Structure 1
């Protein structure tokens, strides 16, 4: 993301936002007792989304992201969780739609890797980053990949194909099936 992250005022996070009805999530804001500098706003958002995911799963994480950063995301929560179009065709690999799918897939792969490592007891952010890096390495992710008939053989383009397949699964069937596919790609 280029530029500064626009974060909704804390007063809108809870109890009047989407968290207001869940007593389980209501106390999460109290965990965020530090005041980030202008350069650390993204860390605050990341911490809030992660805390929401831990407490309430993907639904809570998406609601938090919608509340804090991107309110229009709230309109797409159901589609992001459950999929929007099971018959969505894979776009050509030289299209903007393919690039968007690759970006979405890379986020799902990152989330699946982080979820796995956190569940395995890696709770230190530095250790999570160090252990996540080899899981997400292009050489690992593209092992055996055929790039869906594409003639490009470079690793970066093959990685785009792997990521785009995960992103396509997310748009077709939703978050959980996409995370399952990401776990399979990651070998988890």
Structure 2
């Protein structure tokens, strides 16, 4: 929300002012590219109703979390299209075993989902690859205004395979 928009080049054309303000805010807050942008003026009441509309859209998007199956399909597709790099130190590649989404509605008005990734070794998750997965998630499941948070957890392959029954039982 960009408040006090009435003070931003007050004599200029509103469309031109909005384009300039949007460009400036997007440039300065590049890390919030997923967030909607609303220019308003609390003093004049201009576009204040759009703030609530955007907040309600964000809340609705936060409640529309993909199911585990859909989430795993989105992420597995991303891994197949662009495999993770091989770590130079550890000499191995990140493997995604399973992903699930979790929210904590108790402590937040708009519950931000945390996507829990169970992988072979969490040290293999490069920041750049996490950004790639975030972008692929957004492409497969748009969620304007919602940050995508990954919680990466290491698991061994044995923990995911069914246990073998002893012979004769």
TM-score between the two structures when normalised by the length of structure 1: 0.26
TM-score between the two structures when normalised by the length of structure 2: 0.28
Task: Looking at secondary structure, tell me which structure has more helix per residue.
Answer: 1
Task: Looking at secondary structure, tell me which structure has more strand per residue.
Answer: 2
